[in-house]
C-alpha cells in the first residue's frame, strides 16, 4: 500500500485501526478490481476485519467508495500542488497541472484509472458524486488562487479553472487509453500554449 494513501487520524479517542484497515482494503480492492469488483467480502478479507464493521464505519458500500474517492482525490491533488507551487504565469500553471497528473500516472497508473472509473460511477451514485465534486471544488479553488496571482481578471477565473481542469483530465484519459505518443505530446504542448493564450493572452 502506498504510504501517501494511508488514512490520517485526527486527534481524539485512539483508533483500533479497524477503520483505517478497511479504508486501505477498500482502496486496494478498487485499484485491483474496479468499482464492479468491490464487495464486502473482499474488503473484509483484505482488512482482516468483520464485514459488519464496513457498515458500522462507512454506512454502506457507497459510503466506503465515497471515502476512497476522497482519498484518491487528495493524493492526486497533493502531487499536482507540488508541480504548480512555484508557478507565476498561466503557461506555467497549465504545464504544471499536466506534469502533476503525469507524475501520478508514472507512480501508479491505477490511481488515475480509479479516479476516472469513479467519475463515471458518480453520475449514478450520489455518495461517490458528492465526494468527487468536493475534490474538484478544492482543485478549482487552488487553480483560481494561482490564476489570481498570475493576474487573471476575476470575471474570468471561474471559467478558466473549469477549462484547465477539463483539459488536463482529457489529456490524462487519452494517455490512459492510448499510452505515450508523439501525438499526445504535441497535444499536451498545444493545450499548454492554448490555455495560456486563451486565458491571459500569453504567447509561448
Dihedral sign, CA of 22, 26, 31, 33?
A: positive
pLDDT digits (tens, 9 = 90+) for 87-100: 999 999 999 999 99
Q: How confident is the model at residue 204 (pLDDT cuts 50, 70, 90)?
A: low
Mean pLDDT of 158-183: 95
State the pTM of this model.
Answer: 0.82
pLDDT digits (tens, 9 = 90+) for 5-31: 544 444 444 457 999 999 999 999 999
Q: How confident is the model at residue 1 (pLDDT cuts 50, 70, 90)?
A: very low
Look at residue 200 in the predicted model and tell me its pLDDT: 86
- The residue that leads in pLDDT, 129 or 160, is 160
60 Rama sector, left if φ>0, alpha if ψ -120 to 50, beta otherwise: beta
Mean pLDDT of 99-103: 95
Domains of the chain: 62-200 (1.10.357.10)
Q: Which three cell numbers stand for residue 198?
A: 486563451
Task: Give Cα 178 distance to the centre of its chain.
Answer: 20
Nearest-CA neighbor of 54 among 21, 11, 30?
21
Look at residue 202 in the predicted model and tell me its pLDDT: 67
Q: For residues 105 and 172, is the Cβ–Cβ distance under 8 A? A: yes
Residue 160 CA to residue 29 CA, distance in Å, equals 36
Look at residue 138 in the predicted model and tell me its pLDDT: 87
123 pLDDT exceeds 60? yes
Q: Show Cβ contacts of residue 158 under 8 Å, excluding neighbours closer than 6 positions.
A: 140, 144
pLDDT digits (tens, 9 = 90+) for 28-87: 999 999 988 999 999 999 999 999 999 999 998 889 998 998 889 888 888 899 999 999
Mean pLDDT of 136-150: 91
Give the other-Cβ count within 10 Å of 12's Cβ.
6
Q: What percentage of the chain has pLDDT greater than the value 90? A: 65
Amino acid at each position: 500500500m502506498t504510504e501517501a494513501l494511508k488514512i490520517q487520524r485526527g486527534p481524539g479517542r485512539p483508533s483500533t485501526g479497524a477503520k483505517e484497515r478497511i479504508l486501505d482494503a477498500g482502496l486496494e480492492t478498487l485499484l485491483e478490481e474496479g468499482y464492479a469488483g468491490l464487495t464486502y467480502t473482499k474488503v473484509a478479507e483484505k482488512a482482516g476485519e468483520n464485514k459488519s464493521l464496513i457498515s458500522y464505519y462507512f454506512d454502506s458500500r457507497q459510503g466506503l467508495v465515497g471515502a476512497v474517492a476522497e482519498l484518491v482525490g487528495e493524493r492526486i491533488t497533493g502531487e499536482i500542488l507540488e508541480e504548480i507551487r512555484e508557478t507565476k504565469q498561466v503557461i506555467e500553471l497549465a504545464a504544471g497541472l499536466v506534469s502533476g497528473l503525469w507524475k501520478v500516472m508514472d507512480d501508479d497508473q491505477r490511481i488515475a484509472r480509479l479516479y476516472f472509473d469513479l467519475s463515471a460511477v458518480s453520475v449514478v451514485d450520489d455518495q461517490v458524486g458528492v465526494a468527487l465534486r468536493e475534490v474538484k471544488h478544492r482543485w478549482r479553488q487552488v487553480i483560481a488562487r494561482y490564476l489570481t496571482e498570475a493576474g487573471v481578471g476575476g470575471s474570468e477565473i471561474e471559467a478558466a479553472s473549469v477549462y484547465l481542469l477539463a483539459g488536463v483530465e482529457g489529456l490524462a484519459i487519452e494517455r490512459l487509453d492510448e499510452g505515450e505518443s508523439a501525438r499526445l505530446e504535441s497535444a499536451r504542448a498545444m493545450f499548454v500554449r492554448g490555455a495560456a493564450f486563451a486565458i491571459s493572452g500569453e504567447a509561448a
